Amino acid sequence: MDNQLNDTSAAHDVAIIGAGPIGLELAVCLKRAGVDYIHFDARQIGYTMTWWPRNTPFFSTTERLAIAGVPIQNNHQQRITGEDYLAYLRGVVEQWDLAVNTYEPVIGLEAAGDGFVLTTDSRRGEQRYHARRVVVAIGDMHGPNRLGIPGEDLPHVSHYFRDPHDYFRTRLLIVGGRNSAVEAVLRCWRAGADVTISYRHAQFDERRVKHWLLPDLHAQIEAGTIKFLPETVPVAITPTHVDLAPTRNGQASDGDPWAHPTDFVLLNSGFRGEQQLLEQAGVELRGENRVPVCDTATMETNVPGLYLAGTVAAGIQQRYTLFIENCHEHVGKIVAALTGQWPRQLGSIPGHNYQQPLERIEAN
């Protein structure tokens, strides 16, 4: 790769970083408003959903996932899978002919003069772009929350649940106790795996597991078809077993670790976002969750001209508060702040409760 830094000549009105659902929705609204923008993503559009387990349905219903006024149609009128949603997003890009610089990660972001300089890592070498305003819509699931224990990187250990077929007729230990762990336990058991679930608490929290999953899991544990190891936490992983230590109230307690034999280990420890770009640009991050400071009426951060759209606005979500379905209004607020007009595409989706700013914001 050519390492020479190439400087683009024209300054764009807006640069969007991230091409997930909210980033794409923003692109549609800006294009419809006639705003000159440029759009980047480090991978492909909707990349996070490409590593979801196969055939996993959203918990949200279709009308809450639809973007830019384009309804999601299917032949069963029920929740859709990640694969369905990726096909839908491709259709939105095609319908609106959205230009996205995919596989061009933004590696540098800094304020300069009356705008920003963005440095990207492209196939042509590092590129430099200029934009008067920047919207960061990178989400909050760039990598797993690592446990930091010996053996976490062994080949039979994963933080990503790909397909229950992978564990057919094997012994599988799943660590975790929220939605993703419970769903993985049930799907892998039904696919023929010998499944054990380890959870640091004595019982599952009904507020953190969907109501249709928990009764099913309880029934299988009671029947003995799925084994449950409450108040345990892994402290080391070897090729043949996992060392589990006792906990009390979710915290480490006195007691010696013991070996649990297993063939595979699935660590459902959650995921976290990457905040390096925000730090580079000077965005203030507050509290344990490192929540970016921003004006909730416009989504503008403490750095003038830098906006947040989507789940990135919640920082490192230890308890999720922002999802696709309640981030659509970020798009409306940003477009209104930039153009003075609330995008009409957003109001056309049934079931959404969009609220315009109290005072109309004049166009820049």
- Look up tokens 């094997």; give the residue: 170
| pTM of the complete model | 0.86
pLDDT for 294-323, tens place per residue? 999 999 999 999 999 999 998 887 677 788
Burial 174-187 (b: 16+ CB within 10 A, else e): bbbbbbbbbbbbbb
Question: What is the C-alpha separation between 109 and 119, in angstroms, rounded?
Answer: 7
Q: What crossing angle do the helices spanning 82-96 and 21-32 adopt, rounded to 10°?
A: 20
Q: What domains sit in the chain, N to C, each tagged with a CATH number?
A: 6-142+271-348 (3.50.50.60), 146-267 (3.50.50.60)
pLDDT for 257-275, tens place per residue? 999 999 999 999 888 778 9
Give which of 155, 163, 234 is closest to 197, Cα–Cα: 234
Question: What is the C-alpha separation between 341 and 261, in angstroms, rounded?
Answer: 61
CB 16 within 8 A of CB 27: yes
CB 131 within 8 A of CB 303: no
Question: What is the C-alpha separation between 25 and 31, in angstroms, rounded?
Answer: 10
User: What does the CA dihedral 229, 233, 237, 239 come to, rounded to 10 degrees?
Assistant: 10
User: Running DSSP on this structure, what letter comes out for residue 197?
Assistant: E
The parts of the chain modelled with pLDDT lower than 70 are: 1-9, 318, 347-364
Measured distance between the N- and C-terminal CA atoms of the chain, rounded to whole angstroms: 39
Structure tokens of 153? Answer: 């990187």
Q: Is 128 helix (H, G, I), strand (E, B) or coil?
A: strand
Question: What's the pLDDT at 242?
Answer: 98
Structure tokens of 139? Answer: 């989400």
Question: What is the C-alpha separation between 180 and 95, in angstroms, rounded?
Answer: 33
Give just the sign of the alpha carbon dihedral 144, 177, 154, 234.
positive
Question: What is the C-alpha separation between 304 and 290, in angstroms, rounded?
Answer: 19
Question: What is the C-alpha separation between 240 and 175, in angstroms, rounded?
Answer: 16
Give just the sign of the alpha carbon dihedral 82, 86, 88, 92.
positive
Q: What crossing angle do the helices spanning 21-32 and 328-339 adopt, rounded to 10°?
A: 30
Structure tokens of 115? Answer: 């705008």
Question: What's the pLDDT at 7?
Answer: 66
Question: What is the C-alpha separation between 291 and 283, in angstroms, rounded?
Answer: 10
Question: What's the pLDDT at 288?
Answer: 86
- Specify the pairing of strand 291-292 against strand 285-286: antiparallel
Question: CA-CA distances (angstroms) from residue 135 to 20, 155, 158, 180, 219?
Answer: 13, 38, 33, 30, 47
Could you give the angle at the alpha carbon of 106 between the alpha carbons of 303 and 99, nearest 5°? 105
Cα 40 off chain centre by: 17
Question: What is the C-alpha separation between 327 and 346, in angstroms, rounded?
Answer: 11
CB 96 within 8 A of CB 74: no
Name 303's Cβ contacts closer than 8 Å, sequence gap at least 6: 111, 281, 282, 283
Question: What is the C-alpha separation between 147 and 267, in angstroms, rounded?
Answer: 9
Question: What's the pLDDT at 9?
Answer: 54
Name 212's Cβ contacts closer than 8 Å, sequence gap at least 6: none
